Amino acid sequence: MPIISFPGASAFTPARLAKRLDRIQAANPQVTALAAEFVHFVELTSPLPEADQLVLARMLRYGPRTQRSDLAGRRLLVVPRIGTISPWSSKATDVAHNCGLERVRRIERGIWYTVAGPVRDEAALRAALHDRMTEAVLASEAEAERLFAHSQPKPLETIDLLGKGRAAIETANATLAWRWLPTRSTTWRKVSGPWAATRRMSS
């Protein structure tokens, strides 16, 4: 389905942007400046008429009316983690539908960062720009199409805890890639038939 993008305003106030720059410079002291601007990606069910595009553009024009940055440097795009739908996306999509934009399937938002100056620690740079638990770093807008990838849900699988107890959990851990590793603080106990794993909390 068609995906279009709309630029947005500055993503941070000057004070918050300065704090983020300080975090970057802690590991990359040669970085001299940073810019951050929102960008919006819109998935459509069919091409949007010009009148609807104007409505959508006005809807996505929020925040401070600052001049777009002309900072030169390396650009990195931070978006919600691939395969997830952010709370912002759900609200923005609802607003679009309330505005009569029924051809809008989903709206998602990212941040374009421009980093001026040499980077010697790439991992530290990315860590300063995003939360790897909830966000991803991309190199181009073309990669943002992955935000809207559609896949068929996998069939539901059940685990026979009543019949097989601990062995069922250990088998599921190995075959379903749970990556759960019992530790010394993990104990097993039998409660009215089924086995349950409990983990003692350290004080």
CA distances from 27 to 23, 33, 120, 128 (A): 8, 14, 8, 9
Whole-number Å distance between alpha carbons of 85 and 112: 19
Confidence of residue 174 (pLDDT cuts 50, 70, 90): confident
Residue 1 has which token pair? Answer: 């389905």
- Residue whose C-alpha is closest to residue 25's, from 102, 125, 95, 154: 125
pTM of the predicted structure, to 2 decimals: 0.74
Q: Is the model's pLDDT at 70 over the cut of 90?
A: no
**DSSP state, 60?**
T
| Structure confidence by residue, pLDDT tens digits, 118-142 | 999 999 999 999 999 999 999 998 9
State the alpha helices, DSSP H only, in the chain. Answer: 14-27, 50-59, 87-98, 122-129, 161-164, 166-175
| Structure confidence by residue, pLDDT tens digits, 9-55 | 999 999 999 999 999 999 999 999 999 999 999 999 999 999 999 99
Phi/psi class of residue 52: alpha, beta or left (left: φ > 0; alpha: ψ in -120 to 50)?
alpha
Confidence of residue 155 (pLDDT cuts 50, 70, 90): confident
Whole-number Å distance between alpha carbons of 21 and 43: 32
